[in-house]
Amino acid sequence: MDDVAAVAGVSRGTVSRVLNGGHNVSGPALEAVERAIRKTGYVVNQHARSLVTQRSDSVAFILSEPQDRLFEDPNFNNLLRGCTQILAEHDITLLLTVAGTSADRKRIGRWVTAGHVDGALVVSNHLGSPLLDELKGRGLPFVVCGRPLGHEREVSYVAADDRDGARQMVVHLRSRGYQRIGIITGPLDTSGGVDRLAGYRDVVGDVDPALIEAGDYSQASGEAAMERLLRAGPDLDAVFVCSDLMAAGAITYLQRIGKRVPDDIAIAGFDDSKVATTITPRLTTIRQPFGRVSQEMVRLLLAHIAGEQHAAVILPTELVIRESA
Amino acid sequence: MDDVAAVAGVSRGTVSRVLNGGHNVSGPALEAVERAIRKTGYVVNQHARSLVTQRSDSVAFILSEPQDRLFEDPNFNNLLRGCTQILAEHDITLLLTVAGTSADRKRIGRWVTAGHVDGALVVSNHLGSPLLDELKGRGLPFVVCGRPLGHEREVSYVAADDRDGARQMVVHLRSRGYQRIGIITGPLDTSGGVDRLAGYRDVVGDVDPALIEAGDYSQASGEAAMERLLRAGPDLDAVFVCSDLMAAGAITYLQRIGKRVPDDIAIAGFDDSKVATTITPRLTTIRQPFGRVSQEMVRLLLAHIAGEQHAAVILPTELVIRESA
DNA sequence: CTGAAAGCGCTTACAG
DNA sequence: CTGAAAGCGCTTACAG
């Protein structure tokens, strides 16, 4: 920076002003500095800048799932893409960190709170994970994707209306005449797991426990859960599967044992992710508004960084009817 | 830090020494400082530290591919996992950045060279991308995954022996009696694309151009290339497909039009990724040593950061025979 | 083993 | 509009 100032024939203060938008700088000075920057190939030292501004202009995208999940589940991809794009418009870099093990979560908690980032987007939070407490304790602004079980009134989050989506789906299945409707839920330590099950219960009422199985959102878990479900209740005529990926697994299993979907058993999904339209039969599912979720998460986070209080945003979900149910 | 020093009753210098390994610190002082750190909940400011040490203890994993590719292609997952793990052992954080568009590449080039990271792992570099020149110009240590076309003698890289792998596969196909062997290559602006094609040519010799089609490593491109290949040369009896994912696409297409694999057409893959054993028939393929690739990339990068010159590492590939060819 | 002090490379009131 | 100066929070010779 001293070099640039020397070459341009101005003070370092003026160089800094040019770097930060060029306010209060005369035309000739601005031009001289810009020329000098090009000539010297100068790049600001972000650490020095951040040390005084107390800002890093980057935020973390924390995925607290084993790394494989990130790659298997297209929802994360959707969210990541949306957030990156919107943040780029604000000239903020998004750093992806995968916290699969508890050792990872610890290292990343330290890293995040050491000032490397201005805030964090927390995706896929599980009940009992210490991450939220850690972030909260450090006073780092963050927003959670999905309802943060047990922290609803103290942290920002944006969630799709999982419960209502589940209700819509089960109502739809009923309207098609299905009587014995089973469910394959997500992990019951996540909001997507409990809320969709709650919506199902809202409609079905008193549920035969044999009709409920849990998966972990992976395709393999959908296959396994379908097998268990069928063994416990062979008279099922429909299953509400709480993610499209698990639904794909369930269909794979059914086809392998020679059952037709939806003729023998109807299968409904959740997410409206890519697999919903590539699989045969195409999935009847609940559309999650991932674009809006990303958008609202970023908006809330930036507001938070700017000093605003926390808030919750609930976005509507929508029934999409195709062939599978 | 002043707080910690005050609470512990020592100078900031001593606190700093404790933070950096506790050398040259007396037992009682060390203990007092550690107690004070716990009591105050102190966390170092990384920017201040980096400003003086000129190190950030983090490195970037730069994927210069559209984001979708990251999620579709399990090879990236493998590499990422390996690198993260090995770096964690050195207490270095890995930051993933996806540079899909040229605007992204520019922003990330700036970000990376602004001192945020000590070095970079560059994955999936395409011929003509300005990224390598940018990094080189800034003097940032980095190592490339795969042969960096046109930069072989000036940058560090680690690559699997693609050419030899391709040779092994084609020799195998020949030994099985296949006569008309086609190839679906990767993108011809990447080393994986050109080197595997070169290996194929090494064995086949003078090649009928109708036997060559290019894909982009995605499953969809494998399907499309298979269709073109069959139209141009209906008498094919085997195809060497330069990635397992594309091979899966090719098989999907063949099964859809009623051809049997390997009875009507044999299909060979490359990578030995997960899909190789989940698809029916299971793939005969070339195993890439991803674990060792990650390991060597990290080793080379750390050596580079420590001041060593660049180097190239070529790792052997291995034929894995299953049912598809 | 320990403290006082310089310095890392910036930004930003402040005075002009 | 501009420059001189203070200060951001650390680390690390240096002297003791």
Q: Which nucleotide is nearest to A16 (CA to C1')?
A: C11
Q: Comparing A50-54, A311-315, B107-111, which segment has the lowest mean pLDDT?
A: B107-111
For helices A46-53 and B46-53, the axis angle rounded to 10 degrees is 140
Q: Is the CB of A257 under 7 A from strand C?
A: no
Strand D–CB A28 distance below 7 A: yes
CATH fold match for the domains B58-161+290-317 and B162-287? yes
Homologous superfamily of domain range B2-44: lambda repressor-like DNA-binding domains (1.10.260.40)
Identify each DSSP E strand in chain A by its residue range: 58-63, 93-98, 119-123, 142-145, 156-160, 181-185, 212-214, 238-241, 266-268, 285-287, 312-315, 318-320
How sure is the predictor about A135, in pLDDT bands with cuts at 50, 70 and 90?
Answer: confident
Q: Which residues of A touch B113 (CB under 8 A)?
A: 43
**Residue A72 CB contacts under 8 Å (≥ 6 apart), including other chains:** A218, A219, A245
Looking at the complex, report in whole angstroms how far the Cα of residue B170 sits from the nearest Cα belonging to chain A. 31
Least confident residue range of B99-103, B158-162, B280-284: B99-103
Spatial distance between the Cα atoms of A109 and A138, rounded to a whole number of angstroms = 10
Closest nucleotide relative to residue B28's CA, C1' based: C1
Q: Where are the domains of chain A?
A: 2-44, 58-160+290-316, 162-287
Q: Which two tokens stand for residue B43?
A: 């966390």
CATH class of A58-160+290-316: alpha beta
User: What mean pLDDT comes out for the span B5-18?
Assistant: 90
Higher per-residue pLDDT: A320 or B305: A320
CATH number (3.40.50.170, 3.40.50.720, 1.10.287.990, 3.40.50.2300) of A162-287 reads 3.40.50.2300
A198-237 tens-digit pLDDT: 999 999 998 899 999 999 999 999 999 999 999 999 999 9
- What percentage of chain B exceeds 70 in pLDDT? 100
Q: Would you call A120 an interface residue with chain B, using a CB distance cutoff of 8 Å?
A: no
Q: pLDDT band at B41, cuts 50/70/90?
A: confident
Q: Which residue has the higher pLDDT, B219 or A88?
A: B219
HSE toward the beta carbon, residue B254, CA cutoff 13 A: 28
pLDDT of residue A119: 93
B14 contact to strand C (CB, 7 A limit): yes
**Residue B254 pLDDT exceeds 90:** yes
Average pLDDT, chain A: 91
Rounded to an integer, what distance in angstroms lies between the CA atom of residue A217 and that of residue B279?
A: 21
Nucleotide with the nearest C1' to A51 CA: D8
Q: Hey, which CATH number is domain B58-161+290-317, 3.90.1150.10, 3.40.50.2300, 3.40.640.10, 1.10.10.10?
A: 3.40.50.2300
- Is B51 within 7 A of strand C by CB distance? yes
User: Looking at residues B13-41, what average pLDDT do you find?
Assistant: 88
Give whichever of A16-20, A153-157, B97-101 has the largest mean pLDDT: A153-157
Which of the four pLDDT bands, split at 50, 70 and 90, describes residue B285? very high
For A:129-148, CB contacts with B below 8 A are: 137-138
Q: Does B267 touch chain A (CB under 8 A)?
A: no
**Residue A111 confidence class, pLDDT cut points 50, 70, 90:** confident
